[in-house]
C-alpha cells in the first residue's frame, strides 16, 4: 500500500521549453501533496505544498511563476517547470500524505531527473 | 524552529557488523518521527513511524527506537543490500502543519 508514482522518470529538454511532471497516488487519496528538489548528496528541499482544489503554498525563495503546481484531484498533482534553464536541472521528488493519516506520514514517488540543455 | 541532526554523516560496516544510526531532534511538540531509506537516484522509501518515547518498531534487520530527545536506527548483521542513505524526519505543526523537517542523512555502506 501507499504507492506513489511519478512520470516521467527522466526528461531532457532544451533551454526555454516547459516540462510537466506528474505525481499520482496509486492506492490512496491524498488531500496534500508536496514537491521537493534534491541536489547531489544533499537532503530534500521542500519547494511547495499543494492541497487538492486550492492554490499551492510555495516555500520562501521558490518562484511560483516558474514552478507551476496543480492539484486537480485527490490522486494527481503536477509540477510544470516553465521556461526551463540549465540551473533548473535537478532531481524532483513528490510525496503524498494519505487522507486521514494519523501521524502525517508522507510517501514519496521515485523522483524525476530533469536535465536542461 | 524544529531541528533534526543525524550522525554519523557516513558509516562503513563490514557485512554482519551491527551498528546504530542516531537522529537527535528539537521540536516544540513531537508529532511523530519518521525513518526513510533512500537509494541513489530514487525517492525515499518509508520505513517506520515512531510516536512516543519508549516505542520500538522492527523490520527485518532494522529496529528503530525513540526517546524524548533522539531516535536510533539499529542495524543487526547488515548485508550489502542495506547500503543506502537513511533519513529521519519530523512533521511540523502550527502554520507549517504537515511539512517535514529532515536530517541530513547517514550514508551507510556495507562491504561484503
pLDDT in tens, B71-96: 999 999 999 999 999 999 998 876 66
Which residues does chain B have within 8 Å of residue A106's beta carbon, measured at their own beta carbons?
34, 46, 98, 100
Cβ A43–B44 below 8 Å, yes or no? Answer: no
Using CA atoms, how far residue A91 sits from A38, A42, A59, B98, in Å, is: 5, 11, 17, 22
When scoring B5, B31, B44, B48 by the number of chain A Cβ atoms within 10 A, the one with the most, hence best to mutate, is B44
Under 8 Å between Cβ of A81 and A19: yes
Q: Where are the alpha helices (DSSP H) in chain B?
A: none
What does the pLDDT look like over A8-47, one tens digit per residue?
999 999 999 999 999 999 999 998 999 999 998 888 999 9
d(C-alpha B26, C-alpha A113), whole Å: 33
d(C-alpha B110, C-alpha B77), whole Å: 10
CA A24 to chain centre: 10
d(C-alpha B90, C-alpha A10), whole Å: 29
Instruction: Please give the grid coordinates belonging to residue B38.
Output: 533512500
Under 8 Å between Cβ of B8 and B72: no
Which residues does chain B have within 8 Å of residue A97's beta carbon, measured at their own beta carbons?
98
- pLDDT of B94 reads 65
Cβ A108–B44 below 8 Å, yes or no? Answer: yes
Task: With a cut of 90, say whether residue A66 has pLDDT above it.
Answer: yes
Amino acid at each position: 500500500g501507499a504507492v506513489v508514482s511519478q512520470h516521467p522518470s527522466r526528461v531532457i529538454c532544451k533551454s526555454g521549453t516547459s516540462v510537466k511532471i506528474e505525481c499520482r497516488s496509486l492506492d490512496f487519496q491524498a488531500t496534500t501533496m508536496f514537491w521537493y528538489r534534491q541536489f547531489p548528496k544533499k537532503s530534500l528541499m521542500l519547494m511547495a505544498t499543494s492541497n487538492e482544489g486550492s492554490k499551492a503554498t510555495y516555500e520562501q525563495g521558490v518562484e511560483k511563476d516558474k514552478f507551476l503546481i496543480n492539484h486537480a484531484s485527490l490522486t494527481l498533482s503536477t509540477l510544470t517547470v516553465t521556461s526551463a534553464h540549465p540551473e533548473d536541472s535537478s532531481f524532483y521528488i513528490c510525496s503524498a500524505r494519505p487522507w486521514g493519516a494519523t501521524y502525517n506520514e508522507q510517501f514519496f514517488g521515485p523522483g524525476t531527473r530533469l536535465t536542461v540543455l | 524552529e524544529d531541528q533534526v541532526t543525524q550522525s554519523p554523516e557516513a558509516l562503513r560496516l563490514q557485512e554482519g557488523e551491527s551498528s546504530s544510526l542516531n537522529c537527535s531532534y528539537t521540536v516544540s511538540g513531537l508529532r511523530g518521527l519518521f525513518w526513510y531509506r533512500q537509494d541513489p537516484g530514487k525517492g525515499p522509501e518509508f520505513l517506520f513511524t515512531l510516536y512516543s518515547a519508549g516505542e520500538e518498531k522492527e523490520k527485518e534487520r532494522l529496529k528503530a527506537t525513540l526517546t524524548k530527545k533522539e531516535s536510533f536506527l539499529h542495524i543487526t548483521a547488515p548485508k550489502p543490500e542495506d547500503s543506502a542513505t537513511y533519513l529521519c524526519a519530523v512533521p511540523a505543526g502550527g502554520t507549517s502543519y504537515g511539512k517535514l523537517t529532515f536530517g541530513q542523512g547517514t550514508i551507510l555502506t556495507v562491504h561484503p
